[in-house]
């Protein structure tokens, strides 16, 4: 039985214009070894599952599986099956990175898979998950040092990389549109609508002392300062900190916006409001209590917390919370998506904070991701010019499509939450 490789990728995408090399992408270049018995069982399970899905899966020349739907072309069936046999869904993603399969409608294919994720593997075999699923590396635990390393692996890749597909606000979280579907011209306004709703939930206005946990590139802090608030924003990304400060100065808000390299656990002081956008997903389940205790500790009496959080169904979260996935290995090390119930229960168990408002926007995130993905693909030449190679581009395209599929299928959702001390109405 193969043991999944849970080591962090060793690639340094900058200045790696050459084709995929073993040093940059070792688990993409090398097709894993797999015993004949394991390969045979995996092939039976995979082909049985694919043949029942509303897809058309071309397994090499002449073989077509599925009941009809988006076309998935498997160019190297043996390698494709061996990767999944050895590493499950990590192997599925690595096979795409290796260009062993393709789909014109990549999001469509991944959406079908997401819609059927709980039934792809027969129930009796699902109970054997703990014997073959990869475990999360201890090095990716979100200790103070681990969290900093995890954040840097994603957010410090390159500010210019993110600028190739984000709108001018450089907002890297779900927008809220006035109608769906949307187009690129609406994204900036939709991001401001999202920010304004969060600031309203937090009660941010003239003179508000606002703490932002997770800066991004500064748009929320700048917009809060324009309301007359005094903003302290903390981040673990040096790249984001520097760009956010530049943008605050350009907006004339440098006297109202302070951005610091600081772990949320180290924040001191009291604030009238706390806003944190898609930060809890990077905290790690074992630190959720500490995260909510921090919110409670720094919030002044009568203050409000406003969160934007990606969520999944509670039962699904429990089933997968210890699993190491393709997203962990290549995109967001150390992350785990919470459920609404987990957040509410954690807050109740560890703090005086109580949920007083909750609104979901899942379809809006699917649309946001579609616009980012299309923009990223359109700007492939710009990504190349920054020194990122073709494997990186396939990885990033897969990540954006994979995430979009999660929201289109309903597997994932995103919520705006308001919390107040003891659930006091605001």
User: Which tens digit of pLDDT belongs to each residue from 131-173?
Assistant: 555 666 776 777 777 776 777 677 778 899 999 999 999 999 9
Q: How far apart are CA 46 and CA 48, in angstroms?
A: 5
pLDDT of residue 92: 95
Q: What is the structure's pLDDT at 11?
A: 38
| Position 258 pLDDT exceeds 60 | yes
pLDDT of the residue at 124: 53
Distance CA 64, CA 275 (A): 50
In the sheet where 101-102 sits, what is the strand order?
64-65, 56-59, 71-74, 101-102
DSSP-derived letter for residue 112 is H
Q: Can you give the pLDDT at residue 132?
A: 54
Joined together, the tokens standing for residue 174 give 């779900």
- Segment 271-310, tens digit of pLDDT: 999 999 999 999 999 999 999 999 999 999 999 999 999 9
Q: State percent of the chain over pLDDT 70.
A: 89
Mean pLDDT of 89-116: 96
pLDDT per position as a tens digit, 196-250: 999 999 999 999 999 999 999 999 999 999 999 999 999 999 999 999 999 999 9
**Domains of the chain by start residue, with CATH:** 26-134 (no CATH), 144-421 (3.40.50.150)
Q: How far apart are CA 370 and CA 339, in angstroms?
A: 24
pLDDT tens digit string along 7-27?
444 434 433 344 446 678 999
Span 409-414, average pLDDT: 97
Which of 47-51, 288-292, 324-328 holds the top average pLDDT?
288-292
In this prediction, residue 2 carries a pLDDT of 42
Ramachandran angles phi, psi of 323, nearest 5°: -80, 140
| pLDDT recorded at residue 134 | 64
What per-residue confidence (pLDDT) applies to 336?
93
Nearest by Cα to 299 from 426, 194, 172: 426
Please name every residue paired with 413 in a beta bridge, in sequence order, or none if there are none: 311
Has residue 33 got a pLDDT over 60? yes
CA-CA-CA-CA dihedral for 379, 236, 312, 366, to nearest 10: -20
Find out whether 315 and 369 touch, Cβ atoms under 8 Å. Answer: no
**Listing from the earlier edge strand, what are the strands of the sheet with 412-421?**
257-261, 230-235, 209-213, 271-277, 299-312, 412-421, 353-360
């Amino acid at each position: 039985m193969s043991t999944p490789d849970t080591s962090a990728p060793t690639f340094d995408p900058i200045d790696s214009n050459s084709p995929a090399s073993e040093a940059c992408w070792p688990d993409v270049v090398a097709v894993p070894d797999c015993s004949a018995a394991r390969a045979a069982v995996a092939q039976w399970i995979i082909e049985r599952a694919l043949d029942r899905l509303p897809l058309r899966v071309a397994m090499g020349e002449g073989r077509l599986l599925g009941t009809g739907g988006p076309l998935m072309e498997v160019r190297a069936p043996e390698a494709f099956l061996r990767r999944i046999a050895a590493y499950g869904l990590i192997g599925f993603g690595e096979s795409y990175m290796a260009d062993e399969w393709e789909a014109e409608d990549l999001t469509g294919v991944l959406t079908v898979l997401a819609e059927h994720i709980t039934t792809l593997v027969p129930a009796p075999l699902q109970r054997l998950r703990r014997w073959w699923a990869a475990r999360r590396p201890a090095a990716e635990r979100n200790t103070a040092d681990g969290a900093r390393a995890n954040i840097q692996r994603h957010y410090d890749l390159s500010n210019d990389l993110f600028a190739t597909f984000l709108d001018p606000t450089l907002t890297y979280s779900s927008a809220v549109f006035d109608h769906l579907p949307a187009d690129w011209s609406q994204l900036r306004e939709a991001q401001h609508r999202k920010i304004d709703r969060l600031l309203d939930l937090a009660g941010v206005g003239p003179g508000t002392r606002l703490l932002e946990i997770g800066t991004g590139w500064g748009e929320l802090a700048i917009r809060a300062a324009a309301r007359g608030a005094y903003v302290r924003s903390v981040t673990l990304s040096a790249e984001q900190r520097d760009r956010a400060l530049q943008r605050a100065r350009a907006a004339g808000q440098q006297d109202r916006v302070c951005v610091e390299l600081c772990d949320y656990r180290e924040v001191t002081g009291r604030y009238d409001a706390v806003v944190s956008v898609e930060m809890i997903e990077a905290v790690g389940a074992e630190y959720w209590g500490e995260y909510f205790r921090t919110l409670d500790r720094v919030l002044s009496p009568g203050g409000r917390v406003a969160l934007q959080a990606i969520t999944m169904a509670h039962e699904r979260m429990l089933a997968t919370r210890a699993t190491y996935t393709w997203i962990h290995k290549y995109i967001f090390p150390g992350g785990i998506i919470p459920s609404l119930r987990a957040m509410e229960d954690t807050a109740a168990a560890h703090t005086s904070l109580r949920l007083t408002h909750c609104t979901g926007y899942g379809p809006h995130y699917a649309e946001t991701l579609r616009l980012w993905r299309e923009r990223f693909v359109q700007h492939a030449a710009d990504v190349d010019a920054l020194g990122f190679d073709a494997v990186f581009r396939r990885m990033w395209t897969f990540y954006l499509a994979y995430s979009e599929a999660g929201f289109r299928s309903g597997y994932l959702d995103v919520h705006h939450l308001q919390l107040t001390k003891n659930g006091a109405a605001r």
